[in-house]
Amino acid sequence: MEFVIQSLIDHAMIVVFLNVFASQLGLPLPMIPLLMVMAARSVAGDVAVGLLFGVAFGACLIADLICYAAGRRYGSHVLHTACRLSLSPDSCVSQTQSLFARWGMWTLVVAKFIPGLGLFATALSGQSRVPLQKFVLLDALGIALYIGTIIWLGRAFHSTIDTLLSTLASYGRAGLATVFIALLLFFAIRLARRHLLIRALRMTRISVPDFKRLRESDAPYVIYDVRAAASRERDGAIPGALPWSLDGVWRPEAPSSQDTQVIVYCDCPSEYSAAKVALHLQRAGFTRVRPLHGGIEAWIAAGHQVERSTFVSDWAKPPPPLDNPSNTRCI
């Protein structure tokens, strides 16, 4: 254990750069423990605190610029790939877009402090064609606050961290094994939470062709769009869809009959957001609720029409009550 600690100190800047860089690119590697340990060692003079801040800041900014460029070039494909790799799929595309709609570009300043948000915020900035200078300015401010806070905490609690390291070192191999076991438990818990979430949201989807047939039939139905407002403006919406606010600011009234078929769609991988809303409606007593398989992308890929002209009016005022669900159909 002493050898590991000394090796980390001897190659501190290289290890910190690689750890922070990989973490900010979406790999499930915890960066906070390493930064706090190095910050604690800076009190004793083993590590230069200014250099530590600069290396961590640079690694984070470089990773964010890569994500920004990828989002600008490849758009939603980058967001969806990141969401599939994320250990927190419940905090991906739609949630990030909702925060952007509420806070705008200032989301970048606090994004690093919210688990699972930083990567999506930078990629979404590129997809939204945010000017590079504005992105760098706000992102750098957010990085400085985030890295500075971690280093400050490490230095403030340096005695506790040093005591913990000394205790682990005294146990030799057992101490090293404890560190690895703790890391394994971290990943196991996150993977278990992801699995439980996916399992809870597992339900029957409706395919685009089946939904098209439903629209052409006389059966009453209602369709909810749970994407952020910016996505509706950029990509359009399925005709007749009613916006549903994920953050609970406002939501359309539920269908008057619980037997009405309810279709929910979003733009998340595996329809995470749509499935969460569908599960909420099922718990409220609606028995015929299904997410649209593939979401808006599958609808557009099938060559079906989207509407854009009603975007402003849809979000400027709540939709009328659904006294007759069949009136929501778009002929």
Evaluate if residue 91 carries a pLDDT over 60.
Answer: no
Terminal alpha carbon distance of the chain: 70
**Predicted local confidence at residue 319, as pLDDT:** 39
Mean pLDDT of 253-260: 73
CB 106 within 8 Å of CB 138: yes
Q: Which residues pair with 222 in a beta bridge?
A: 262
Alpha helices in 11-131 (DSSP H): 12-24, 32-43, 49-74, 76-85, 93-103, 107-110, 118-127
**Is the pTM higher than 0.75?**
no
Report CA dihedral (161, 166, 171, 176) to the nearest 10 degrees.
Answer: 50
List, as one string, the DSSP characters of 247-284: TSS--PPPPSSTTSEEEEE-SSGGGHHHHHHHHHHHHT
Q: Is the pLDDT reported for residue 183 higher than 50?
A: yes
- Is the pLDDT confidence value at 184 over 60? yes
Residues with Cβ within 8 Å of residue 210, at least 6 apart in sequence:
none
Which of 267, 289, 294 lies closest to 278 in space, CA to CA?
Answer: 289
The burial class, CB within 10 Å (0-12 / 13-18 / 19+), for 50 is: exposed
| β-pair partners for 206 | 292
**Burial class of residue 77 (count of CB atoms within 10 Å of its CB; 0-12, 13-18, 19+):** middle
CA distance 172 to 168: 7
Greater confidence, 45 or 308?
Answer: 45
The more confidently predicted of residues 147 and 243 is 147
Digit-coded pLDDT (tens) for 27-51: 777 888 889 989 998 898 888 899 9
320, pLDDT greater than 50: no
DSSP state of 219: -
Neighbouring residues of 84: CB distance < 8 A, sequence distance ≥ 6: 269, 270
Residue pair 314/287 in contact by the 8 Å Cβ criterion: no
Measured CA to CA, the distance from residue 11 to residue 34 in angstroms comes to: 12
Residue 205 near residue 293 (C-beta atoms within 8 A): yes
CA distance 57 to 37: 16
The pLDDT of residue 293 is 87
The sheet with strand 242-243 has its strands ordered as: 242-243, 221-225, 261-265, 289-291
279-304 per-position pLDDT tens digit: 888 888 888 888 898 888 889 888 88
Please provide the average confidence, as pLDDT, over all residues in the chain. Answer: 77
CB atoms within 10 A of CB 275: 24
